Amino acid sequence: MEIKSVGVVGAGQMGNGIAHVMALAGYDVRLNDVRQESLDKAVDLIGKNLDRQVSREKISQEERDTALARISTTMEIAEVADTDLVIEAATEKEDVKHKIFESILPSLRPNTILTSNTSSISITRLASRTDRPEKFMGFHFMNPVPVMQLVELIRGIATDQETYAACLGVVEKLGKTAASAEDFPAFIVNRILIPMINEACYTLYEGVGNVSSIDTAMKLGANHPMGPLELADFIGLDTCLAIMNVLHDGLADTKYRPCPLMTKYVEAGWLGRKTKRGFYDYRGDTPVPTR
């Protein structure tokens, strides 16, 4: 099937980035959230990010204006359902995702493809609670969406080839690269990345090194652009912990046991950049290690 319109559920960090790249690629986008404030903030941020692309001569002013005009916002989930492709980009909590799909099902077109931007949750399980498991798959963008080139495409056990081919076509139209992953906990990127971050937390927890030395060691010793603890703050410690729990529960292997220190930071509400404190304190002019 040809996809012309895209519905995005969730106007947060991932949702607004997905809306941005979809509109720029020529798709009509309907962006949904439960709060009007979030929608207004998302559109404002998309505009600023498009302006940045214009200033760097990545796109023209006309392309910027046309893309922004392709995005409409709504708090009504039924309006998002009237599209060719729906991408759920809400919080990484399975019960929340199930509720979103249950609320959108009655309004969906018969041929609409349902997808989730989940970074770790079973696609087969999410699909099983819908009326179209054959037209359901994982559509996992990397953060920040306008910058990162990879999209993981994850087929559930029932996903048909036509659905996969349609989503692959969208990725190619976006100018990004698709990596096909099997439906196992955390897929490819986070199956490798998040345990590395968790191990960095254990290295801190056990006193092998402090925040600064751990991040410096990995940046200069492994040529990583960001240290693992800095990256954890960027992703959000709550998201990192949620993915570690999915790995631990789904694979029943003790090597995926979340570090108690990560759990403690999340309990404190120190989730990283978005709360101004995590492994670094961002309340001043320069980030300062908290340990």
The catalytic residues are 119, 140, 152, 190
26 is in an annotated binding site: no
Do the annotations mark residue 227 as ligand-binding? Answer: no
88: annotated binding-site residue? no
Establish whether 272 is an annotated binding residue: no
Q: Which residues contact 288 (CB under 8 A, 6 or more apart)?
A: 280, 281
User: Is 61 flagged in the annotation as binding?
Assistant: no
Neighbour-count burial for 62-75, b at 16+ CB within 10 Å, e otherwise: eebeebbebbbbee
274 is in an annotated binding site: yes
Structure tokens at 28: 């009509």
Q: Is 253 one of the annotated binding-site residues?
A: no
- Half-sphere exposure in the Cβ direction for 229 (13 Å, CA): 31
Sign of CA dihedral 152, 80, 172, 148: negative
CA distances from 181 to 121, 186, 190, 234 (A): 13, 10, 11, 24
CB neighbour class for 33 (10 Å; exposed up to 12, middle 13-18, buried from 19): buried
Contacts of 27 (CB under 8 A, 6+ apart): 3, 4, 5, 6, 70, 170
Give the HSE-up count for residue 218: Cα atoms under 13 Å, Cβ half-sphere.
Answer: 19
- 16 marked as binding residue: no
149 among annotated binding-site residues? no
10 is in an annotated binding site: yes
Alpha-helix runs per DSSP H in 75-227:
77-81, 94-104, 123-128, 161-173, 189-205, 211-221
Q: Please report, for the chain, how many H helices and E strands are present, in that order.
A: 12, 10
Q: How many CB atoms lie within 10 A of CB 5?
A: 17
Q: Shortest CA distance to 120 belongs to which of 201, 192, 225?
A: 192
Tell me the C-alpha distance between 46 and 232, whole Å. Answer: 24
Which residues are documented as binding site? 10-15, 33, 92, 97, 119, 143, 274
Which residues are documented as binding site for NAD(+)? 10-15, 33, 92, 97, 119, 143, 274
